[in-house]
Chain A
Amino acid sequence: MPTSTDLLQGTLDLLILQTLALEPMHGWGIAQRIQQVSKDVLQIGQGSLYPALYRLEYKGWIKAEWGNSENNRRAKFYRLTAAGRKQLRSEVETWDRLSSAVSLILGRTVEASR
């Protein structure tokens, strides 16, 4: 899946689900939120954001509805479904396991090189 992102495969999905877990949001909002929260480290271009949103919607994890934005324009809002919430939980678990495993390995490598 060419999403032109440096993010780990599948991580973008996790970030989107996590972002939507707080409140329904439109695409622009999601990108902005991720950028702000990550202190400008993670910048999501539309070229990878919208295919990911479509993929998640086709999987039934998020649901799209047209609504009005804060400046009263028509925008498409995405909202987490029950299935999405479940998916988010399991992805967070996986992520925790993976990241602690990775840091374990890195920690050992650091000790060995010392």
Chain B
Amino acid sequence: MITEFLTRLRFLIFRKKGSELDDELRFHLDQSIAAKVAAGLSASDARRLALIEFGGVETTREHCHRQSPAWWAGIISQDVRYAVRGILAHRWFSAAIIATLALGIGLNTMVFTLVNAVLLKPVPLPNGDRLVSVMGRNLVHDDGSLPLSYPDFQDYRTQATSFEFFEAATQEAGVLSEPGNPPQQYQLDRATAGLFSMVQTNAVLGRVLLRADEQPGAAPVIVLGYNVWQERYAGLPGIIGRQVHVGGQSATIVGVMPKDFRFPHGVDLWMPLLPTPDLAKRDNRILQCYGILKPGVTLRKAGAELDAIVKRLTSQFPQDKGRGVSVLTFQQRFNGGGIRMAFLLMLAAVGFVLLIACADVANMMLSRSLNRRREMSIRTALGASRWRIVRQLLIESVFLSTLGGFLGLGLAQGGIHWFDLATTGIRPDWIRFTMNFLVFGYFAALCVLSGVFFGMAPALRSSTTNLVDVLKEGAHSVGHSRGAWLSSSLVVFQFALTLVLLTGAGIFVRSLLDRLAVNPFIPTSQVTIARLQLPKERYKDNEARIHFFDQLLPRLCSVPGVRHAAIVSGGPGMGAGNEQIELENLPIANPAQRPWISFVAQYPGYFDTIHLPLLQGRDFNETEGTSNHEAAVLTRDAAARFWPAQNPIGKRFRLFDDKNKPTPWITVIGISGNMVQEPWENDPKPLLFVPYRQEGWDSMALVVESAVDPLQAMRKVVQSLDRDLPLSEPSRLQEAIDKQVWFLRVFGDVFLTFALIAMLMASVGIYAVIAHATNSRTQEIGVRIALGATVRNILLLVMRRGLWQVAFGLAVGLAAAFPLARVMASIPLGVLRSDPFVFCSVAFTLASVGIFACWLPARRAAGLDPVKAIRYE
């Protein structure tokens, strides 16, 4: 087998010389003649007889030639030479095709790289392809992302046989502090020691967690992430052995992990998971589990095994009733739902762009195939088979698409880089947007398939020309063309797809603008916001917390440069608490029927800080919120909802928390302007404000309006009261909002780019078709003008077909855009609103562009000089 292959390869590379065969055949003939002479024939008779016996030399030569493994290569290389010659002969035409395809294939490769990284590619860690996330599942609500308890984890670990490793970690916020270094909040995972060997990663400095660290009574240790080491400790090599405080508890730094290692999910600090009595409770569910499947074990099989284990446990422990287990890959766990949907939508959108590009190129090739009919007829007349011509044209188009594809690869790299930057800090850190073999396979398939896709129809058309007709036709061109029907439907198809893309982009842009236009009264560039979490160990009850905030607020207000300062449960547009409401004198017996409200707890001065106007009544005073002084301010809409056409001031209501416990009666003391607190809600609940003293939460946001950056001063003020208290998520409100709308912004940009490219291609497409049709009707138009046709007649004549195509394309596109809008509205990331305005404006835009593209060639036709036009060929 192998020697045969090698021999064939040798002959493929070193061709046999044709003359050898000739020598050999001549020898054969001579021998034959000699044999006949020896048998007694005369020399001339022998020669004649031998030649007759011998038969055709040419067919033998051809047959011998065909035995060669290089035969195919020769034919193909001939076709490729023809293709290259054809491409070079029509340089501008080819450049247009290559540019169109570079856009189409480049964008597709880019998006597939992203989709591959987000949804398909294994996590870039050793054994990443077998890495799974295991969590609890609520069988009733089918919610598969519930944390597990420590006993659950231990049972799974000892009983399951599907896993090579099975480890667990909590996910919490940890405050790192030490004398002389301001406290900072980080993502802290308390993990079982095997977490590191699971992904075969060692510390760059010191060591990772060990089994010994997990034993009860072991000295508390901590492992730092690379970023923490660099930013907090400036990469100090002597960091190992240093004592730090973590959440008020002391621990020794024993190691630093490598750069970019944040396993399992955005972790900064790792500590051992120490077994405590609390942890041993079966209903204390705080763990996420991670496993490496044994080679050959599928996700489904591991899930089935764990399900069986959970079923056994459930019968043993009633508190586990209604719980199952969910085994997922990291992609499924962290990039499911809306993210997955958005990326698939993006893939579909970019597929549309490629289809539009191919339709464009097919139309260009079709119009050229009419011009090439003579060339093809001559080749057919010279004996080229139909298959040979189709093959050569297809090779030409695949060659073009491959050239375009390679150009597009550069484009794709640029796009990936942009997307990488646009999502840094937002996407999970283990997603790396790099190409792998799958992407290159996809790229190669795109190059070949799009070449075949746009090349097939023109190639078949060129090859079926009736050669007698064409050769007889001479130099005269006729007005009608058989390509008209096909290219018209391609244009309709392009416009329909473009409308769908534009609608998608329109919905994103509309939603982004809506989101940015929310709460216009707030000077977002002047407002700074930071969160504060009072640890339960040091602030045990409401009194302690209120005491702290009471001291903090005046100090914040007195920071130089600060105009207003306030303390609030959630900054503007950053979410709210939800409770059920009952109005005085309007009791509702069934708790399920009580309306829900959103509420924000705040200190006096918040309305001034965010410039929310008070329309009626007043802001809270210092005593409101204490018992018997319960008060609230409602937004205008909320007041109008509960007390329509009445003065709401002085009215009373009460709230019910999730345990259905009512608060005392609360009096309305003021009405504010309207404000959006939960911008991602499609149907926001009525919003009201209550004083902080009524709630006494431990996590609050500091909101400060200041012309200069007040963050340093804010930190200093907070730490003058409590040395170990960090500020988390500090930013200007503007940046916080930007972070909230990143999804709309990034995907809006992407879809808008795709849609604009599509629109450009579609209008170039219709322009080219109309221009070509007009060109071939030049003589006819000249005659019409000579006979007295007006400019309007000619414009209509030329544009009529184009206008029909645009109208038909828009109708088909609108029919497809409505379901798309419904799909997008179901994406649970930000509100994607679609309204008639979006549909109307995109349809109007596309129609204007289409009409303009038709009008350009029509105007030229109307301006023709009839004398020249009639002589035109």
User: Do chains A and B interact in one complex?
Assistant: yes
B-binding residues in A (CB < 8 A): 1-3, 26-28, 31-32, 45-47, 50-51, 54-55, 58-60, 69, 71, 73-76, 83
A54/B54 contact (C-beta < 8 A), A60-B3, A60-B7 known: no
Chain A CB within 10 Å, residue with most, of B11, B25, B59, B63:
B63
Q: Would A46 and B68 count as touching, CB distance under 8 A? A: no
Please, could you name 13 A-B residue pairs with CB atoms under 8 Å apart, sorted by A? A2-B63, A47-B55, A47-B59, A47-B63, A50-B60, A50-B64, A51-B67, A54-B64, A60-B8, A75-B27, A76-B20, A76-B23, A76-B24
Which residue on chain B has the smallest CB distance to residue A55?
B67
Q: Would A83 and B4 count as touching, CB distance under 8 A? A: yes
Q: Would B8 and A47 count as touching, CB distance under 8 A? A: no
Those of B19-47 within 8 Å (CB) of chain A: 20-21, 23-25, 27-28, 30-32, 34-35
Give the docked Cα–Cα distance between A47 and B8 (Å): 23
Which residue on chain A has the smallest CB distance to residue B11?
A58
Q: What's the nearest-Cβ distance from chain A to residue B65, in Å?
A: 8
Q: Does residue B220 face the partner (Cβ distance < 8 Å to A)?
A: no
Q: Would B55 and A74 count as touching, CB distance under 8 A? A: no
Q: Within the complex, which residue of B4, B34, B53, B59 is in contact with A59, where a contact is CB–CB below 8 Å?
A: B4
Q: What's the nearest-Cβ distance from chain A to residue B753, in Å?
A: 54
Q: Would A46 and B54 count as touching, CB distance under 8 A? A: yes
Q: How many B residues have CB within 8 A of the partner chain?
A: 31
Which residue on chain B has the smallest CB distance to residue A86?
B3
Q: Would B4 and A60 count as touching, CB distance under 8 A? A: yes
Give the docked Cα–Cα distance between A80 and B279 (Å): 81
Residues of B within 8 A of A76 (CB): 20, 23-24, 27
Residues of B within 8 A of A47 (CB): 55-56, 59-60, 63
Q: Would B30 and A51 count as touching, CB distance under 8 A? A: no
Q: Does residue B258 face the partner (Cβ distance < 8 Å to A)?
A: no
Give the docked Cα–Cα distance between A58 and B10 (Å): 9
Give the docked Cα–Cα distance between A1 and B20 (Å): 22
Give the docked Cα–Cα distance between A73 and B26 (Å): 11
Q: Would B30 and A73 count as touching, CB distance under 8 A? A: yes
Q: Within the complex, which residue of B8, B25, B35 is in contact with A50, where a contact is CB–CB below 8 Å?
A: B25
Residues of A within 8 A of B25 (CB): 46, 50
Give the docked Cα–Cα distance between A2 and B27 (Å): 23
Give the docked Cα–Cα distance between A51 and B21 (Å): 10
Residues of B within 8 A of A51 (CB): 60, 63-64, 66-67
Which residue on chain B has the smallest CB distance to residue A73?
B27
Q: Would A46 and B55 count as touching, CB distance under 8 A? A: yes
Q: Would B55 and A45 count as touching, CB distance under 8 A? A: yes
Give me the 6 closest cross-chain CB pairs, A-B, nearest first: A60-B7, A51-B63, A54-B67, A28-B31, A55-B67, A54-B64
Give the docked Cα–Cα distance between A15 and B220 (Å): 87
Those of B805-829 within 8 Å (CB) of chain A: none
Q: Would B67 and A28 count as touching, CB distance under 8 A? A: no
Residues of A within 8 A of B4 (CB): 59-60, 83
Residues of B within 8 A of A46 (CB): 25, 28, 54-55, 60
Q: Does residue B247 face the partner (Cβ distance < 8 Å to A)?
A: no
Residues of A within 8 A of B8 (CB): 58-60
Residues of A within 8 A of B35 (CB): 32
Known A28-B31, A73-B27; further 4 A-B contacts with Cβ < 8 A: A3-B63, A60-B3, A74-B27, A76-B23
A58/B7 contact (C-beta < 8 A), A46-B55, A47-B55 known: yes
A-binding residues in B (CB < 8 A): 3-4, 6-8, 11, 16, 20-21, 23-25, 27-28, 30-32, 34-35, 53-56, 59-60, 63-64, 66-69
Q: What's the nearest-Cβ distance from chain A to residue B66, in Å?
A: 8
Residues of A within 8 A of B30 (CB): 73
Q: Would A27 and B28 count as touching, CB distance under 8 A? A: yes
Give the docked Cα–Cα distance between A13 and B142 (Å): 70
Q: What's the nearest-Cβ distance from chain B to residue A91, in Å?
A: 14
Residues of B within 8 A of A50 (CB): 21, 24-25, 28, 60, 63-64
Q: What's the nearest-Cβ distance from chain A to residue B69, in Å?
A: 6
Q: What's the nearest-Cβ distance from chain A to residue B106, in Å?
A: 42
Q: What's the nearest-Cβ distance from chain B to residue A78, in Å?
A: 10
Residues of B within 8 A of A31 (CB): 28
Q: Would B67 and A58 count as touching, CB distance under 8 A? A: yes
Residues of A within 8 A of B60 (CB): 46-47, 50-51
Give the docked Cα–Cα distance between A83 and B6 (Å): 12
Residues of B within 8 A of A74 (CB): 23, 27
Q: What's the nearest-Cβ distance from chain A to residue B418, in Å?
A: 53
Which residue on chain B has the smallest CB distance to residue A27?
B28
Q: Would A27 and B59 count as touching, CB distance under 8 A? A: no
Which residue on chain B has the smallest CB distance to residue A45?
B55
Give the docked Cα–Cα distance between A1 and B28 (Å): 22
Q: What's the nearest-Cβ distance from chain A to residue B258, in Å?
A: 53
Q: What's the nearest-Cβ distance from chain A to residue B18, in Å?
A: 12
Q: What's the nearest-Cβ distance from chain B to residue A67, in Å?
A: 11
Residues of A within 8 A of B66 (CB): 51
Which residue on chain B has the smallest CB distance to residue A28?
B31
Give the docked Cα–Cα distance between A59 and B67 (Å): 10
Give the docked Cα–Cα distance between A34 and B11 (Å): 28
Q: What's the nearest-Cβ distance from chain B to residue A3, in Å?
A: 8
Give the docked Cα–Cα distance between A1 and B63 (Å): 8
Residues of A within 8 A of B63 (CB): 1-3, 47, 50-51
Residues of B within 8 A of A69 (CB): 27
Q: What's the nearest-Cβ distance from chain A to residue B113, in Å?
A: 43
Which residue on chain B has the smallest CB distance to residue A4?
B55
Q: Would B69 and A58 count as touching, CB distance under 8 A? A: yes
Which residue on chain B has the smallest CB distance to residue A63?
B7
Residues of A within 8 A of B6 (CB): 60
Give the docked Cα–Cα distance between A31 and B60 (Å): 15
Give the docked Cα–Cα distance between A37 and B25 (Å): 23
Give the docked Cα–Cα distance between A60 and B1 (Å): 10
Residues of B within 8 A of A1 (CB): 63
Give the docked Cα–Cα distance between A58 and B34 (Å): 30
Give the docked Cα–Cα distance between A73 and B23 (Å): 11
Q: Would B68 and A58 count as touching, CB distance under 8 A? A: yes
Q: Would A27 and B24 count as touching, CB distance under 8 A? A: yes
Chain A CB within 10 Å, residue with most, of B7, B21, B32:
B7
Which residue on chain A has the smallest CB distance to residue B59?
A47
Residues of B within 8 A of A54 (CB): 16, 64, 67-68
Give the docked Cα–Cα distance between A47 and B28 (Å): 11
Q: What's the nearest-Cβ distance from chain B to residue A62, in Å?
A: 11
Q: What's the nearest-Cβ distance from chain A to residue B362, in Å?
A: 39
